[in-house]
Amino acid sequence: MGARADRDEAYVLDLCDEYLGQSGLREHRFEWLRGDPGAGGRRATLPVDGYWPDLELVVEYRERQHDQPVAIFDKPEKLTISGVHRGKQRALYDRRRDTEIPAHGLRLAIIRPSNLDANNLGRLRRRNREADLAAIATILAPTPAANPDVPARNN
């Protein structure tokens, strides 16, 4: 895998920054968004991909492994602290983000490779900036009607 800045996630979040006109926080952690307890009972905070505090907006870029099994990411032979393999834990933590983020008054926008100019493996190798930026503008539009997959912010 290349440098972090070359990753699809970084490319997508940079496009979000451009559309929003401000830089979001990467890998931000909220005290109230926690994983399952580890061996010592400690529950680590779960990161979100991007957070724009002034806009009360969280963006999650959910690559292929979030929606379908990918053995290299799922590690089916190894159980996590949640007692399931990594793929099942990822799904559990995604659902936790999906409920907890809006429950704390923040808007959650989920971007998938299928929303953008991705190849058949879900990679953004073409980096079709104009098309991808237009798609992101639709997804991040402030009105929930523009994108039914983006929950409205709780008021």
pLDDT (tens digit, 9 = 90+) per residue, 20-49?
999 999 999 999 999 878 777 788 899 999
| 10-38: burial string, b at 16+ Cβ within 10 Å, e else | bbbbbbbbebbeeebebebebeebbbbee
Q: How far apart are the first and last CA of the chain?
A: 41
The tokens of 18 are what?
């451009």
Contact 46, 38 (CB under 8 A): no
Averaged pLDDT score across all residues of the chain: 80
Position 1 scores a pLDDT of 40
Higher pLDDT, 100 or 6: 100
Longest dimension (CA), the chain: 48
Higher pLDDT, 115 or 152: 115
The tokens of 29 are what?
């952690």
* Residues in a beta bridge with 110: 60
The model's pTM: 0.76
155 — pLDDT class (breaks 50, 70, 90): very low
65 — pLDDT class (breaks 50, 70, 90): low
pLDDT (average), residues 89-95: 82
Position 120 scores a pLDDT of 78
The beta-strand segments (E) located in the chain are 25-34, 45-52, 57-61, 107-111
Which residue type does 35 have?
G
Higher pLDDT, 102 or 149: 102
According to CATH, what is the number of the domain 4-146?
3.40.960
Higher pLDDT, 41 or 8: 8
Return the DSSP state at 53.
G
Instruction: Find tokens 């997959």 and name the residue.
Output: 149
* Residues in a beta bridge with 57: 52, 107
| 61-76: burial string, b at 16+ Cβ within 10 Å, e else | bbbbbbeeeeeeebee
The tokens of 46 are what?
């779960």
The tokens of 4 are what?
């972090």
